[in-house]
Chains A and B, each alone.
Chain A
Amino acid sequence: MQCTTNLTHYIMITLKNINFSYSKTKKLFKDLSWEIENGFVYGLLGKNGAGKTTLMKILSGLLYPDGGFISVDGFEPAKRYPSFLSKFIMIPEEFSLPSITINNYEKIYAPFYANFNHSAFNKYLEEFELADLKHYNLNNLSYGQKKKVLISFAFASGTEILILDEPTNGLDIPSKSIFRKLCIEAMNTNRTFIISTHQVKDVERIIDRITIIDNGNIISDEKTEDISLKYSFRFVEKLPETGVLYSEKSLGGHKIMTINVDKNPSAIDIELYFNAIIKQNS
């Protein structure tokens, strides 16, 4: 189930010909371009070191590109204007929280976000079974619990853009499904979520668009509904001789990706789709 509803989409974020490198010898991004529309949940996928986190940092104004143009709802992220910063929240994979209670965290940080919804925050904490821990010091919570507090805070913040780097890392199995449920609940027509992850199974039913980054550029950015109409993903015991776009050996047979001839939406195997696109690009 995807999070989008019927609405008019517009380009919220534009990246044009972005160049970035950590060292003089090797460029990470070479003329990277990407347009992000509002009202979608983007799944940003890529191999290790492809630059997903770097791209998220550039979008957040935490890193400055060597060249190119970026606009986030009309703002240049590198300038870090408060009106830009209050539009988004980023949850990095590695984070550190202050040594204060959840209650105080809410009291100190929530006022920075004009549309923060306190009742939603309490509800999300309740869903994650953290409501009774509001008077606990954040540093006394486990990594997963801290992450759930951050996720609840981000969803309740009312910001237009949410950038989540590996949001399900460290979450237990029940919390992963709660995360998916809350993501759908928190998403609305004015918001855009960008989720970077390797745990595709955790997010496959919530993402609306699959964006793949490889070799310093965005190599694919498609709506999941278009993918499901374009391609068919199946498991076969014997590999067909023709019509297979991509296949992978699996226990007792093969997972295959073919052209969706009958045009009926098929369930997407994101892992297979990702591997197919990467292979095609290599």
Chain B
Amino acid sequence: MKTNDFFCIKRFKLLMKREFHSMKKGLLITLGATVGVMFLISIFISGITPHINLSGFYYAGLYISGIIVAGTAFSDFRKKETSMMYLTLPASTFEKLKSQLLLVSVGFIIFYIVAFYLFWVLIALWRLILNLETPFFNIFMDQNFLQSILKLWFWQSLFIIGSITFTKSPLIKTMTLIFTVLVILGLFVLFLMTKITFDQMHSTSLPIAMSYNKNIFDSWLFYLLIPISWIIAYFKLKEKEV
């Protein structure tokens, strides 16, 4: 394999152009719907209480729309005909994955921030009519800003694997699969904790699992799962057939 067969900047630009053309409609609909729903909910809340939690809106919208966008990535795989055209498009598997990842992760965040501030303008205007003040929420100064992006990328990476693997309804199928795995994992942890607590009652030393009090979502091991998921997505895409 030539290096050019793995990555070529000229070809990648062409692919990005093509992907942007095919994704922009879905992206705009998702973001438009998110802004619409957030606006309607905030109108309702403004009628009940003068306080508004903009960070709550920001993070809820970020995760929900981010996951929808990731779950609907690789839209060419939804139909056999488009799948054939996409897989025979002269670009490498790496380029095809990278272009989707860039649009779904980085591209989405940029568009979402723009959409969020559009929502902010709309709700601020509405609340002005009601004589209510709307605080400005500076996303970039929020302490959870970067961490939330990394967490989103983790969940998105799982949904991207799902969008490559499942031909029909990948969003729902991936959600169901994640939910099932989390329930099984939860039950397993519950079983483990029960056993540890039982053992502890018969022992004087503190079990390691109990003394490890760190939130798994803040661990660097958790973030390591992002590139691992991307690698899995690469191999899934590589072995994709029609």
CA distance A80 to B240 in the complex (A): 11
Contact at A112–B90, with CB atoms within 8 Å? Answer: yes
Query: Which of A103-111, A205-213, A237-245, A262-270 is the contact stretch?
Result: A103-111
A-contact 0/1 string along B18-44, CB 8 Å cutoff:
100110000000000000000000000
A112 touches which of B1, B14, B242 (Cβ 8 Å) = B14
Contact at A96–B87, with CB atoms within 8 Å? Answer: no
Does B93 sit at the interface, judged by CB under 8 A?
Answer: yes
Closest to B7 in A: A82
Does B89 sit at the interface, judged by CB under 8 A?
Answer: yes
Contact at A57–B91, with CB atoms within 8 Å? Answer: no
Contact at B11–A82, with CB atoms within 8 Å? Answer: yes
A113 with B22: in contact, given A79-B1, A92-B81, A94-B80 (CB under 8 Å)? Answer: no
Number of chain B residues close to chain A: CB under 8 A: 29
A108 touches which of B17, B88, B93, B241 (Cβ 8 Å) = B17
Does B4 sit at the interface, judged by CB under 8 A?
Answer: yes
Does B85 sit at the interface, judged by CB under 8 A?
Answer: yes
Closest to B96 in A: A80
Does B92 sit at the interface, judged by CB under 8 A?
Answer: yes
Q: Which residues of B have CB within 8 Å of A62?
A: 84, 87-88, 241-242
Does B106 sit at the interface, judged by CB under 8 A?
Answer: no
- Measured CB to CB, the closest approach of chain A to B24, in angstroms, equals 11
Interface hits, B43-79 → A, CB 8 Å: 79
Does B8 sit at the interface, judged by CB under 8 A?
Answer: yes
A61 touches which of B18, B22, B88 (Cβ 8 Å) = B88
Closest to B87 in A: A62
Does B199 sit at the interface, judged by CB under 8 A?
Answer: no
Interface hits, A56-112 → B, CB 8 Å: 57, 60-64, 79-83, 85-86, 88-90, 92, 94-96, 98, 100, 104, 108-109, 111-112
Q: Return 9 A-B CB contacts under 8 Å, by A number.
A: A63-B241, A80-B92, A80-B238, A83-B4, A86-B90, A88-B88, A108-B17, A111-B14, A112-B11
B-to-A contact residues, CB < 8 Å: 1-2, 4-5, 8, 11, 14, 17-18, 21-22, 79-82, 84-85, 87-93, 95, 238-239, 241-242
Q: Given A82-B4, A112-B11, list of 17 further CB < 8 A pairs?
A: A61-B88, A62-B241, A63-B242, A64-B239, A79-B1, A80-B87, A82-B8, A82-B91, A83-B5, A85-B91, A86-B90, A94-B80, A95-B85, A96-B79, A96-B81, A112-B89, A112-B90
9 closest A-B pairs by CB: A86-B90, A85-B90, A96-B81, A81-B5, A112-B90, A62-B242, A96-B82, A82-B90, A95-B81
